[in-house]
Amino acid sequence: MLNRRLLLSAIASAGVCTAVTRVASAASMKPAQDGLRGTIDISGYGVAPDRTGDQSRAISRLFNEAAEKGMPVFLPAGDYRVSGIALPDMLWVSGVPGRTRLIHTGGGRFLTGEGLSKLTLSDLVFDGGGKSLGEEAGGLINLRGVADLTIDNCTITGSTRHGINAERCGGRITANSISQASASGIYAVESQRLAITANTVSDCGNGGILVHRWEAAEDGTMVSGNRVFKIAATDGGTGENGNGINIFRAWNVMVTDNHVSDCAFSAIRANAATNVQISGNQCLRSGETAIYSEFGFQGAIVSGNLVDGAANGILIVNFDDGGRLATVSDNIVRNLHSDGPYLHDGAGFGFGIAAEADTVISGNAIENAPKWGLMLGWGPYMRGIVATGNLVRGAGGGCAVTVVEGAGTALIANNLFQDVRDGAILGYRWNDKATGDLLTGGSEAFAHLTLTGNRRT
């Protein structure tokens, strides 16, 4: 008969068996580093850490044969000097985080991979050392047409071009540290549902994380949980460089929960990016506009972001080029300044949130905007603007709205304006003030405007 002691013993034994099974299963998911079980033996290929000479030929042979055999490669801690490595299909290489270093010897390309079904690089350091990559390579790690890419927990530094150049790739680029790239940290073009998550990108010459397409189309990249800081605009311009996260022509992209600071231009810049979602980001000390959705886009959600320090806060603009349809809600925008990185020929700098067409602006708090808190329309370019339930505190003007002939309709309702020097709601003809404070009278002269429930204190 089964007594209580036997029953408890059986349960305990079952638990131990289950735990052992789980440990064994977890061990099978990744190359074992205790005894190198399951990985290819690198000693037979003449590959060893800390050799003074170039090991490119030996490592190329190791990678190719490991991929053919379906075996992962584990590289022990130390330096491996290489260049011109062509990565084969189904390659899986890992090392000791921070201590297994592949160092570029110069003279052209470093690591390239093209037309691969699967590639995995993890726990490695890739050091370009500022050496030339030649004319053909777009990045230190140069990839094209990798269907299932994994670059995980790697350090990529010292590239004379992009850190990672990924064209027509899917998969994930996760938890890497990328710095000191002359161009951008990550350049992903024509992606196939790529995930760029939890990376740290810093001290790059022209951009942080770039998601681009040659022609506007579906992309689906997710850019989430990254830390991007100290991004310069070495090659100059008026916004094509110097952005922490830049989305260009890529549709259905999510930019969420990133921490972006100290960028020469924008923290997050979406250009012709239809159906972009920009939510939950911290944007600190931007040199120009902190968050942009501009030019030929249709559909943008900008919500729950914090902007502290920028020339302009959030801009939803370029209706003249087809930019339209957005919601801007529940953001904090504060501590703006009126000087930017170039001479502006339009509205200038120093305003909080601007929009032009088919946009709802609601529930935002704007504080310390030297020019305007809200800017609605530009010349005749305004249609279907709703600005409700916003707080503007400490601004030159609370809300500037266009009164140029041909401008479309705007509803300005239930907003609170505090400490606005020039007035709460002001009519403008381009950059020229055309009215007094419409909150206290005169709005009936402009049939395209509806003002109700607003208050100035």
- The rounded distance, in Å, linking the Cα atoms of 102 and 345 is 48
Is pLDDT of 92 > 70?
yes
- The rounded distance, in Å, linking the Cα atoms of 352 and 367 is 8
Is pLDDT of 14 > 80?
no
Listed by start position, the domains of the chain span 350-457
Is pLDDT of 75 > 70?
yes
Which of these ranges, 128-137, 273-282, 355-364, has the smallest mean pLDDT? 128-137
Q: Which one-letter DSSP state was computed for residue 381?
A: B
Residue 37: per-residue pLDDT: 53
Band (402; pLDDT cuts 50, 70, 90): very high
Query: How many percent of the chain have pLDDT more than 70?
Result: 92
Residue 345: per-residue pLDDT: 81
Is pLDDT of 409 > 70?
yes
DSSP string covering 263-320:
ESS-SEEEES-TTEEEES-EEES-SSEEEEEESS-EEEEEES-EEEEESEEEEE--GG
36, exposed or middle or buried, with CB in 10 Å at 0-12, 13-18, 19+? middle
Residue 29: per-residue pLDDT: 40
Average pLDDT over the chain, rounded to whole? Answer: 93
Residue 86: per-residue pLDDT: 98
Q: What are phi and psi of 240, to 5 degrees?
A: -70, -20
Residue 38: per-residue pLDDT: 86
- The average pLDDT across 149-168 equals 98
Band (346; pLDDT cuts 50, 70, 90): confident
Residue 8: per-residue pLDDT: 41
- The average pLDDT across 117-133 equals 97
- The average pLDDT across 82-97 equals 98
Give which of 324, 235, 192 is closest to 243, Cα–Cα. Answer: 235
Task: State pLDDT tens for residues 218-239.
Answer: 999 999 999 999 999 999 999 9
Which of these ranges, 36-40, 55-59, 317-321, has the smallest mean pLDDT? 36-40
Task: State pLDDT tens for residues 16-26.
Answer: 334 434 433 33
